[in-house]
Chain A
């Protein structure tokens, strides 16, 4: 029943995911800032939540514009990385880089965890060598319990020396065809209201009670809008994973808040190949031999996990493309007719008929992401006004926090820590990102 109230919001998604995105033939890449020197400003601003709320934030921004999360810093292994921080806030701010060693600071004033940029235009500069590839995060080391909640957190990706655009680490076990970021966080708006009102004395973490949950700084369905959507000027990053059957999708998962989140991938298992920027290796050079399969991964605060997700549709027991012979033959007659296979199709299921009869349209409720057909790349009839978000007949799978409370936006379902992953027919070009 409740979904009716948010249905009006979902059309935004189709426009974004399907029409406005920029087709790129190359692998799906993670949006972010590249280079060796990054000029960040700690600055205040607001973000939007999908229920229409506007929340006061502190964030790291490029060019002085607040964004949540901070820019994803993408650097090369071995690079000497410099991050210059200018503080526009009225409290001291800093950055710590968990997982990086030998971080040195120039300027600023000493703080408890890191050298800090003093309030009101103070500066500090950090330098480190990105010695190990992998997925990391960075966040404020100044009153972090408040400042990370306020938004001073971001992702750091170190690309490996070997095949930096197609591997996460210097081993083929980390090879990927597309990669996506899953920076997970939660939020208690009461904290933000008090900070915005300048009533710091009312900020009380003993009553911390999050009611918003985010992937890459957006609450669903905004997660599925395009990156850099103009109506989300301070939330540039989306989360709209797409793939073809057989692709290897790299998931870079980051716990960027204070709670653990059980992140579930519908469609198939994923295989954790690395944690906190280190391959799960039994010995040097062994690759991800200690990798762990999971259908739900606990994403831990301050920690990262890299996983490879694949999907082939094999062993369904029916032909997922719905092949029939030229005269509608199914089963052996279809096989005998020599219907060609799709790329990577599971041969044993080729031409196997669909196993059941689907009920009539009046007996079903149809999802907005349903094509009307059970087959990949096919469309079927739908009642007027139903479906519509799946123009190529892809398979959508919800990827979400399985703490189901967290797929809401402050009392409104659905939303929060949720996105839809899309598997398209091999002949359909994927949009990016």
Chain B
């Protein structure tokens, strides 16, 4: 560990000195209607077109800290929306986030998602392109699907703008699909969800599906366009399941052949952290190895007042195992699976109440916790695959977080 760290400390200043000297900004080319200065945001006199959202991500490498203190090299995304083009390389290099920045859009929005590849600073021998795969996008076109064999991927110092007319509401996920086993194990994984158009109905709109007497009130939120208010929620939290194999990451950092066959995760996580880091409401203290750029910003702490409906948008991007999550003490009502409302073709709601949800990689579930009548206190959300309640050899950790009811 120590020699590696010394090497890093020597190499990093060199890289920092070297890179600004490159003609870096030429290919940072954000396409965002109405934005004239290329930073993916609108500032007067720029005019934001209606129903349009722009996002600018970088893809590269970086470092994160496991809950037991172990440093992990990783690949990942970073959100540089609002960054002027000439500063994107500087901001995006070594800024990989785990989990990737959460993408939240509204149903029907025109989404312009620009991806800039800032390169692998710690692995200058690699020339990997990157993509964004919007996992679960309905009626996708290959060009914006991010699966590199069927389309295009983004080289270093280049930018591709993906366009999506945000489809049906629900909980999706996104990840890089280039050399998917490697890039996903290395951490290019994030939450992505689409909120329902039903949220924006005029005040007082009746929702009469199947004889319902529900009336929409401005401010109400729903998981889906249910037509009967049955997926109403007060507050939502994305919870993504994933895990790291530290051996894989360490061999990557050491420029060794990668052990695909022997891949075995030992750091189970929610939103890029193991317990107890999962309940830290703030970004984790960034490691000095990535120039102290924040790399673990997504908390998994669920806080709510009593008598609220809490929506957990659970997704899994585990690259190996299935995981089961349970909530101790609060029933879990499953209303959606894989970004689809659980409803029969004849209109009957097929929601079910359970105390566990099992997901493999690439699956999602929408779970509502009704805290009505639940005593204030701290409740636990954790995996029942019990060996994963650990941060490698450290016990009392891993895939667990807390639900605090005030």
Contacts and interface: CB of A to CB of B under 8 A. Distances in A.
B159 A359 contact: yes
Nearest to B342: A292
Contact of A403 (B339, B340, B361): B361
22 contacts: A211-B261, A262-B362, A294-B337, A295-B136, A296-B361, A316-B141, A317-B163, A359-B29, A359-B154, A359-B159, A363-B157, A364-B158, A365-B129, A365-B152, A370-B142, A374-B142, A395-B141, A396-B150, A405-B263, A405-B319, A413-B181, A414-B180
Closest 7 CB pairs of A and B: A402-B362, A262-B360, A317-B165, A363-B158, A374-B143, A396-B150, A293-B340
Contacts of A288: 345
Contacts of B79: none
B179 interface: yes
Interface in B146-183: 147-155, 157-165, 167, 177, 179-182
Interface centre among A211, A364, A376 (most CB of B within 10 A): A364
Which secondary structure characterizes the binding site on chain A? loop
Interface stretch (A156-164, A266-274, A333-341): A266-274
Interface of A: 1-3, 173, 211, 260-262, 264, 266-269, 282, 286-296, 298, 311-318, 320, 355-359, 362-370, 374, 376, 395-398, 402-405, 407-408, 410-414, 420
Contacts of A413: 179-182, 260
Contact of A396 (B142, B153, B155, B160): B142
Contacts of A357: 31, 161
Contacts, number: 214
Given A367-B152, A369-B150, A398-B150, A356 B185 contact: no
Contacts of B346: 282, 286, 289
A290 B338 contact: no
A356 B112 contact: yes
A2 to B, nearest CB: 6
A365 B177 CA distance: 13
Nearest to A267: B140
Contact of A1 (B128, B260, B338): B128
A200 to B, nearest CB: 24
B147 A298 contact: no
B142 A408 contact: no
Contacts of A404: 180-181, 184-185, 319-320, 361
Contacts of B154: 359, 363-365
Taking chain B's interface residues, is the majority helix, strand, or loop, or is none over half, making it mixed? Answer: loop
A355 B263 CA distance: 40
Contact of B338 (A260, A291, A294, A395): A294
Contact of A420 (B149, B184, B360): B149
A357 to B, nearest CB: 6
B112 A269 contact: no
A415 to B, nearest CB: 10
A1 B126 contact: yes
Given A404-B180, A404-B184, A316 B139 contact: yes
- Best-buried of B143, B185, B358 by chain A (most CB within 10 Å): B143
Nearest to A349: B165
B11 interface: no
A289 B184 CA distance: 36
